[in-house]
Structure 1
Amino acid sequence: MGEILDDFARHWPLYVSIPIVAALIGYTTKLVAIRMMFQPLEFVGIKPFLGWQGIVPRRAARMAGIAVDTMTQQLIKPAEIMARLDPERIAKELEVPLHAAVEEIVRDVAGHYQAGLWESLPIRVQDLVIHRVQAESPKMIAAVMEAIKLDVDNVFDLKDMVVTSLVKDKALLNRIFQEAGKKEFQFIARSGIVFGFVIGVIQMVTWVLFKFPLIMPLFGLFTGWFTDWLALKMIFVPRQPKRYFGLFVWQGLFLKRRAEVSEAYGSLIAKEIITPHNVLEAVLRGPLSDRVLGLIQRQIDAELGKQANIAKPLVVFAVGSRRYQDMKLSISRSIMDKLPETMRYIEDYAEDAMDIRNTLVNKMKALEPEEFEGLLRPAFQQDEWILIATGAVLGFCVGEAQVLLLEHFAS
């Protein structure tokens, strides 16, 4: 024992450095693990195996799908948000921009299908035709919006909209997980210092007693592995507050911060993804937009039908039934092309009416712990073993370097 104490007295700066280095191993491996989750956005290296891409960006489609499943199944329904829009109010808001759009559509379509007839009409008659269409257009838009509301699931694919946005913008997908788990990631990094230091003290005592070369790399490996594993566990376990050893109460950090996470997550989703602009754009130009076009065509038929005794026979006679159908389709497509531009005039109203942020926040706070955990857990579950293994390998390498330094300076 006297020799051991004498050795410690002579080399104590080296031995004291052991837990300090272990704390650095714990901290560094956590920073590396967190960075590997999100960076780089695209694969760097030689495909398929020699290189790396952040776990979240690499699994973008699946990550986005999981996040959207939680979002659409438990938090927000397309029918619910569209039901809050008043078609009459939308028609009124669009009246001015629609007038200009309708005039351009009428002139283009009439000029294309019956150029000679249209050009031969007096300007006053052309204006009269345009004014009549303009007068009817808000009613038509209101009717189309009402039809969309009644059949929203067949004209609006929320999941496709969100997944497409997140896969296209991997940085935004990263931000969702980073915003939701901001403090959890900070905890992971800082916990590495504490856990690493505690293990380092045991490592120091073991080295002083035995001086077995494999002790340092093995402890380094254990420090990197165990601190990564424990930190990840402490974020999600337990789901409910639980007392340990009769001394302290612990609840998974992410679940404990439910209210705070809900506010941040809801704000980000409402600001960046499920915005009125994106929703309206998806309805009008998304994968189901052909069905919206069908609604518009049926509404055009209905409007023409009101004048069936006079207007429709004359038009069909003038252009032919086949060209009449083509003209109707052309009008519908022209309206579809103009709608996204004119719809921006209602975005402020739609944002207030849909109230997406508050809807998300309130429903998130009401989720069961298992469902709430699903907002962030996928980011860790995918290839979690790689993160822990990386920490272990880094710890082993640093531990081996420690052995060389200790043997060099202690000799």
Structure 2
Amino acid sequence: MMEALLTEFIDNLWLYLSMPVISGIVGYGTNVLAIKMMFEPLEFIGKPPFLGWQGIVPRRAAKMAAISVETITTHLISQQEIFARLDAERVADELEPVLNDMVENIVDQVMTEYEPGFWEALPQFVKRQIYQRVKRDAPRLINEIMQQLKLNISQMYDLEDMVVTKLCEDKALLNRIFSEVGAQEFTFIGRSGLYFGFLFGLVQMLVWLFFQQGWLLPAFGLLVGYATNAIALKMIFSPKEPVKVGPVTFQGLFMKRQKEVSRDYGRLVSSYVLTPANIVEGILKGPYSDKVFDMIGRHVQRAVDEQTNLAKPFVTFAVGTQTYREMKARAAEQLIASLPTTLKHIEDYADEALDLENTLSTRLESLKPQQFEGMLRPAFEQDEWILITVGAALGLAVGFFQLVVMFGG
């Protein structure tokens, strides 16, 4: 019998040797495809809701972003701490030069709009006194606004809304965070498919040599496509804690790289999500922006009253009380409209003061494995059954191909 088996093997040597090779290619291909399906395409392609595909991460962008926010705000940093790190006086000092440049334009625009004749007739030295007085008190105004913002931060700013909005609007950025943080794990998934697929193929070759049943090849294809994905995903996250077996220590690949992953995550989030520009945009465009603008408007109008206090009876007489109120409101609007451009001048200081990259990296590195797992696990667990099923289906198809084409059906 052994002689007959040996003859069968030699006579069909290339067919038998092709089994582990094809099995390895199937394992690698299905795993790489699974990774692609996680991130691509960014938008749904096909006929919704079922005929077509959208990458798992971009399709569940809101939930993925919410999970990232929960990790950030629960374990890494709060919005109160972010704003506590910004010194109000330093912010005022940083903004003073650009505010000085804006003062004359804002005053001229408002006065020319409401009372061009009165403003034109006003002596130049009086105008200069008004400019100088406003410039002198502008830093105090900014300081007061910053202090009020800090005291009422929970009513003025929503960090979670800002992060979720940013990541949902920019799905490519969300993909980048997950793909770069888990880059080595995704590479492992592809390679493990090749290795495990080859090993399964060797078993398939030996079984086929002894039992040439038609169902074996499709069954092994199904097993390879399923198992290579399932095993790779398991090895990434399990075991969470190091487990020593003799001289060898086992731990999930992602968990083992906690220090390196923490550094990458801190860099990405501080560079593209929790940036000074995005934080400012969250203040000016977030759900509480009306409250912020109302607060700024009240401060600006009060400052206008203070600046014109000595001449107020004359001013209100000349322009009318209602017009004077409108002028104050218009001055506040002009300042608020210029804020996005103005606040860009504090970005360098804010980067230095917040030190978010170091903060996020250090705190993420100290998380317990169960908490740390939440950084990447959500990218898989939502629809990982789909990835495994697709891998199994492709493996089954290749098994039928082997049976029909290579072994004559």
- What's the TM-score, normalizing by structure 1? 0.95
Between the aligned partners of 2:325 and 2:367, the Cα distance in structure 1 is 51
Whether the 8 Å contact between 2:58 and 2:175 is mirrored in structure 1 is yes
Flag the 1:309–1:106 CA change in 2: closer, same or farther, 3 A.
Answer: closer
Q: CA deviation at 1:316?
A: 4.2
Q: Secondary structure of the equivalent of 2:12?
A: helix
Partner residue, 1:27 = 28
Whether the 8 Å contact between 2:130 and 2:307 is mirrored in structure 1 is no
Between the aligned partners of 2:154 and 2:320, the Cα distance in structure 1 is 36
Instruction: Answer yes or no: is 1:264 the counterpart of 2:264.
Output: yes
Q: Secondary structure of the equivalent of 1:212?
A: coil
Deviations, residues 194-220 of structure 1 (Å, cap 9, x unaligned): 111111111111111111111111111
Instruction: Answer yes or no: is 1:80 the counterpart of 2:81.
Output: yes
Structure 1 stretch 4-13 or stretch 389-398: which is displaced more?
4-13
Whether the 8 Å contact between 2:237 and 2:255 is mirrored in structure 1 is yes
Flag the 1:377–1:314 CA change in 2: closer, same or farther, 3 A.
Answer: farther
Partner residue, 2:389 = 389
Between the aligned partners of 1:276 and 1:333, the Cα distance in structure 2 is 23
Percent identity among equivalent residues?
Answer: 48
Whether the 8 Å contact between 1:40 and 1:52 is mirrored in structure 2 is yes
Q: CA deviation at 1:300?
A: 2.7
Aligned length: 408
Deviations, residues 28-56 of structure 1 (Å, cap 9, x unaligned): 00000000000111111222221111111
Deviations, residues 268-300 of structure 1 (Å, cap 9, x unaligned): 111111111211222233332222222222323
Report the AA paired with residue 43 of structure 1. Answer: F
Whether the 8 Å contact between 2:221 and 2:396 is mirrored in structure 1 is yes
Q: How do residues 106-255 of structure 1 correspond to structure 2 at under 5 angstroms? A: 106-244=107-245, 246=246, 248-255=248-255
Between the aligned partners of 2:285 and 2:334, the Cα distance in structure 1 is 13
Partner residue, 1:331 = 331
Whether the 8 Å contact between 1:114 and 1:319 is mirrored in structure 2 is yes
Structure 1 stretch 79-88 or stretch 26-35: which is displaced more?
79-88
Q: Secondary structure of the equivalent of 2:375?
A: coil
- What's the TM-score, normalizing by structure 2? 0.95
Structure 1 stretch 118-127 or stretch 158-167: which is displaced more?
118-127
Structure 1 stretch 355-364 or stretch 160-169: which is displaced more?
160-169
Flag the 1:172–1:309 CA change in 2: closer, same or farther, 3 A.
Answer: closer
**CA-atom RMSD, angstroms?**
1.8
Structure 2 residues not aligned, in runs of 5+: none
Between the aligned partners of 1:215 and 1:375, the Cα distance in structure 2 is 40
Partner residue, 1:380 = 380
Q: CA deviation at 1:81?
A: 1.4
Whether the 8 Å contact between 1:304 and 1:311 is mirrored in structure 2 is no
Between the aligned partners of 1:32 and 1:14, the Cα distance in structure 2 is 26
Flag the 1:309–1:195 CA change in 2: closer, same or farther, 3 A.
Answer: closer
Instruction: Answer yes or no: is 1:6 the counterpart of 2:4.
Output: no
Between the aligned partners of 2:227 and 2:12, the Cα distance in structure 1 is 28
Between the aligned partners of 1:202 and 1:122, the Cα distance in structure 2 is 98
Deviations, residues 194-250 of structure 1 (Å, cap 9, x unaligned): 111111111111111111111111111111111111110111111101135x46321
Report the AA paired with residue 111 of structure 1. Answer: T
Structure 1 stretch 343-352 or stretch 314-323: which is displaced more?
314-323
Flag the 1:321–1:287 CA change in 2: closer, same or farther, 3 A.
Answer: farther
Report the AA paired with residue 363 of structure 1. Answer: R
Q: CA deviation at 1:305?
A: 5.4
Structure 1 residues not aligned, in runs of 5+: none
Partner residue, 1:282 = 282
Between the aligned partners of 2:83 and 2:360, the Cα distance in structure 1 is 15
Between the aligned partners of 1:238 and 1:316, the Cα distance in structure 2 is 76
Q: CA deviation at 1:302?
A: 3.9
